[in-house]
Amino acid sequence: MIFRQLFDSVSGTYSYLIASRAGAEALLIDPVLDKVDRYITLLQELDLRLVKAVDTHLHADHVTGLGALRDRTRCITVMGEQSKADVVSMRLCDGDRLEIEGVSLDVIYTPGHTDDSYSFVMPDRVFTGDTLLIRGTGRTDFQNGDPRQQYESIFGRLLCLPESTLVYPAHDYKGDTVSTIGEEKRNNPRLQVASVDDYVHLMNNLNLPNPKMMDVAVPANTHIGLHQEIVAARGWALSPEQAMALLRAEEAVLVDLREPRERERHGRIPGALHCPYPMLGEELGRGGSLRELARRCRLVFFCAYGERSAMAVQAAQDVGLTAALHIEGGIAAWKNAEGPIERA
């Protein structure tokens, strides 16, 4: 496995680059906007293809690199389903799996620091965001934080992992880089409490100042969606109703870019082909099945919210498939328009 812990000294943020091997797909957890150039250079140096950029929660102390990474690498942006971000390409829930080629992370919902906080578990390590820090825990006094929920997330979920599990948090301000579940159980001062009420009392009396960047970071991190109106202005977007009319006239083939789990959870559009977004380059390339199909009919891409499909239209245009379109707003908009859905 390729694993890099990257540090932003301005905000004390750790970001994590994960891939199974050189030449493979890569994942970035909690990237920082100011470091995006560095990530892109590192990805090139290590011969990796970024396919997903994930935030553990909506950050208040730095501006996320999610939007910039998507715009520069066409990767998928990922957050939890509770996130207040306007649009991300994919939303996760408790029990999901976050997957790239050769790497799979279990997704656990760990609210408390914020109401959209998630942790990601691999067999030997856990990425805890700001839920569990090294000898600390994330504050619970803003962004719908809740010390009672955080106690449950920590004691009921994270501390149930094997004691040898490595703990990789989203921040450290003292110079520590990694810990273990056992080490935190024994030595984290916030966790030496007798009851949930003790923990709530402790967290409610920290009296911390707001993060310096909060007034900038929260609004910026709430508006990270791809500007789908730019794609629409080029004439490449369809409303769900327009897409339904094209389908009735048998003038188009729908291509679902979502992952199998998203299709299971949110349903499928009858008759749509399936091409998970990371496969798109191959399928649109010379000899690819979508490229062949595009000779005979019009491709209409869709995904969860319209981000992957907007990028797919651009990718199709780039290889000369100028008739390709996408459904603006994705399956979420399709459902709002009462388009037909079938369950897997």
Closest CB to Fe ion among residues 55, 262? 55
Considering only residues 120 through 179, tell me which ones interact with Fe ion, judged by CB under 5 A: 130
Considering only residues 227 through 286, tell me which ones interact with Fe ion, judged by CB under 5 A: none
Closest CB to Fe ion among residues 55, 184? 55
CB 13 within 8 A of CB 5: no
- State the nearest-atom distance from the C-beta of 138 to Fe ion, in Å: 6
- State the nearest-atom distance from the C-beta of 211 to Fe ion, in Å: 8
- State the nearest-atom distance from the C-beta of 181 to Fe ion, in Å: 20
- State the nearest-atom distance from the C-beta of 172 to Fe ion, in Å: 13
CB 120 within 8 A of CB 56: yes
Cα separation, 229 vs 160, in Å, equals 45
Q: Where are the alpha helices (DSSP H) in 131-272?
A: 147-151, 181-187, 196-203, 214-222, 228-233, 240-248, 260-266
The residue number with the shortest CB distance to Fe ion is 130
Considering only residues 36 through 95, tell me which ones interact with Fe ion, judged by CB under 5 A: none
Closest CB to Fe ion among residues 79, 272? 79
- State the nearest-atom distance from the C-beta of 81 to Fe ion, in Å: 18
Closest CB to Fe ion among residues 25, 146? 146
Closest CB to Fe ion among residues 113, 291? 113
Total of chain residues touching Fe ion, rule CB under 5 A: 1
- Helix, strand, or coil (residue 306): coil
Write the interaction track for Fe ion spanning residues 95-114; mark x where CB under 5 A is met and - where it is not.
Answer: --------------------
Strands (E), the chain: 2-8, 13-19, 25-29, 49-54, 76-80, 90-92, 97-100, 103-109, 118-122, 125-129, 132-133, 136-137, 166-169, 179-180, 237-238, 252-256, 273-274, 298-302, 325-327
Interface positions with Fe ion (CB under 5 A): 130
